[in-house]
Structure 1
Amino acid sequence: MSVSTFGDLAQSYVIRRANARLGREMQTLSTELTTGLKSDRRSAVSGDTGMIGGIERSLGRVAALSSAAREANLHAGGVQSILERVQGEVNRIKPDLLNSGILGGAASPNLMAENAEAGFKSVVSAINTAIGGRYSLSGTATGTPPLRDGDAILADLETLVGGAPDADTMIARIDAYFAPTGAFMTNDYQGNDGTLAPQEVADGMTVTMELRADDSTIRDTLAGLAKARFANAGAFGTKGVEYEAVLQNAGAQMLRSSDELTDHRAVIGANEGRIELAETRNANEETALQKARADLIGIDPFETASRLRETELQLETLYAMTARLSRLSLTNYLR
């Protein structure tokens, strides 16, 4: 009777091959169990990969649109927050300005100047807020803060209007400073006149964020606050009609600015609504596409888990057998 045996080298080779095969199978089954999809997609669709390729491309596009929608939502929410802060400052100081002519001044000249200066600096700081590492009110120059520092702007204005002989002169100088061709545009606004391109957030849906810090609403807001700040710096003093005329002009400007800020916030709110709708559409489309993909190349998780456990047991058995064989020797046998 003949006996077939394996030499040590052949035996080692067989064990290594089995170990490699089981290892690959475990890796494949683990990946499939994690993703819920078959690894061999070509076999799963009998070689017809056109449909699954189309689904994968659509999923990639939806993922890109979803990312764009999240970015647009961050941008819109950030600008909305900026305008809320600006409008808060306007509404805080507006009542004192509007009451100045009726009550002969609702706040002392020094207190009025201090409040207006604090409001001016707060508005500039809000406008210079970076959203996600970008400055949203600088046009397309998103790496540059929209405005110079508030103290620097106020210093230039003080030089311009200090000692103005009458209310009309002070008002005219400040209005000219913040005019479309004034010093504010050439010295203080650091962005550009570009407009961010419309951003596609879902198939057939785009949003556009056009507001910049050189917008007339922002300029009017800063001009009104500047008038309130420097009303007590003219040569006409703080007791007569000239002083009150500057404050009343500033109050009227704040009233217009508040209404215009509300309009801007409504536009941004509408964009936020469109973005929310886009995110919902993207999520629904992604769910539908994932289901279609799973119908084509999805796995049975229970079957795959059973196969994975079976493979693990085979690998454990192989390791145990390898350990026993490694301990076999003629010396141990003769003992």
Structure 2
Amino acid sequence: MTTPISTVSTLQALLTRRRIAADLQDQMGRASQEVSTGTRADVYRSLGMRSAETLALRARMDRNAGLIASNQVLGNRMEMMAELLGVIRGTAQGVLDLAISSRDAPGATVEAMQTAARTALDQLQSQINASYHGAALFAGVDSGQPPLQGWDEVNPRSGLSPRDVVEGVIGGGFTGAADAAAKAAELETIFASADAGQPARNFEATFYNGTPRLDAGGAPSPRLTAHVEEGVTLSYGVQANDAPFTELLRGLSMLAATDPAQIADPDAYRAWVGAAVDAVSAGVEGLIETEARLGGQQQLLAQTIATQTDRNDLYNSQILSLEGVDPYEAASRLSTLQTQLEATYAVTARLSRLSFLNFM
């Protein structure tokens, strides 16, 4: 009986060894990558059907990271708002400290009250008109322009400047306490934007250029809000037409538009200056409440960011448990592959040196 003998040519053996060496090199490359990165070289091929889990986790982590980034920008904006509210309150407090001693009758500070109020109005215009990343901080939703009109600047919508409005109410001065009280009440109506007879004089028509308190239909205008978490919206808007600002600006405008030292009638002085100082005081108190409310919103945002950061850490841990590799197993596999590759190189080198003459 004849038994066939299967033979393999030296060339075929050499080519086979080279293919094996190339495959081992590829496996070593992937193993080396896994050792250095701690994650699978081909995640989706390694996980198979579980690839959907890591894709879903990564999508959730990306959405969460996007919320963290936008919330951090919002946090910076709110921090700037909080700092400015403190500065605005300080500016007003300086005038109040000066004027309080001369509230009911001319005192030692009466000569400086008008200048101090006028200087404060200029400072407040700059402070209230501050912007962050090109958006006015206290203009509401309509943040594309500074909210506060300059004291001497004519508002093109009304054709009047704030100074025109206040001085128009004061006219030639005060004939007595009743006249001073009536003019103070008229300004209160104007700064509340409630002057139906001459609406062009209203605060929101001449003094203010941001989002009005009420829309054209009489409903409250939307305030600034931010989507800070899935299903959670934070309302954080502070506007220059809020009551603390209008009260503050009303009192300062009353002191800036007339020189208290020139009001001869004591009763008229008490009615006018008293109303002005009370308005500034109410504005300062309102700003304190506004700062407290904004501080609570900042705390809520900080807690939200902390929760989202912890959630991102959890997502990352879950992804690593799916995509990661055991560093000891990967290093052992790399060492084994290196040994196999070295052996393959040795055999391949020996085969490459063989020829028919070696057996003659």
Name the TM-score class by shorter chain: 0.7 to 0.9
Q: CA deviation at 1:29?
A: 6.2
Preserved contact between residue 185 and residue 214 of structure 1 (Cα < 8 Å): yes
Distance in 1, matches of 2:293 and 2:98, equals 29
Residue 237 (1) aligns with residue 245 (2): no
Distance 1:126 1:43, change over 3 A: same
1:189 is matched with: 208
- Work out the percentage of aligned pairs sharing the same amino acid: 19
Within-5 A mapping of 1:1-335: 25=29, 33=36, 37-101=39-103, 104-109=106-111, 111-152=112-153, 153-157=161-165, 159-160=167-168, 161-166=170-175, 167-181=180-194, 182-193=201-212, 194-196=221-223, 198-232=225-259, 237-241=262-266, 242-299=268-325
Distance in 1, matches of 2:139 and 2:316, equals 40
Instruction: Count residues in correspondence.
Output: 298
Q: CA deviation at 1:225?
A: 0.5
User: How does the TM-score come out when normalised to structure 1?
Assistant: 0.75
Deviates more, 1:248-257 or 1:74-83: 74-83
Q: CA deviation at 1:201?
A: 1.9
Q: Which has the larger radius of gyration?
A: 2
Post-superposition CA distance 1:104-129 (Å, at most 9, x none): 324133x2111101111212221110
Preserved contact between residue 118 and residue 256 of structure 2 (Cα < 8 Å): yes
Preserved contact between residue 124 and residue 149 of structure 1 (Cα < 8 Å): yes
Preserved contact between residue 224 and residue 251 of structure 1 (Cα < 8 Å): yes
Distance in 1, matches of 2:71 and 2:207, equals 32
Q: CA deviation at 1:184?
A: 1.9
- Superposition RMSD in Å: 3.6
Post-superposition CA distance 1:168-200 (Å, at most 9, x none): 354244324312234321123211234245323
2:48 alignment partner, SS class: coil
User: How does the TM-score come out when normalised to structure 2?
Assistant: 0.70
Preserved contact between residue 121 and residue 151 of structure 2 (Cα < 8 Å): yes
Distance in 2, matches of 1:62 and 1:31, equals 27
Post-superposition CA distance 1:290-318 (Å, at most 9, x none): 011001102456887996xx99xx9xxxx
Q: CA deviation at 1:45?
A: 1.4
2:262 alignment partner, SS class: coil
Distance in 2, matches of 1:305 and 1:134, equals 54
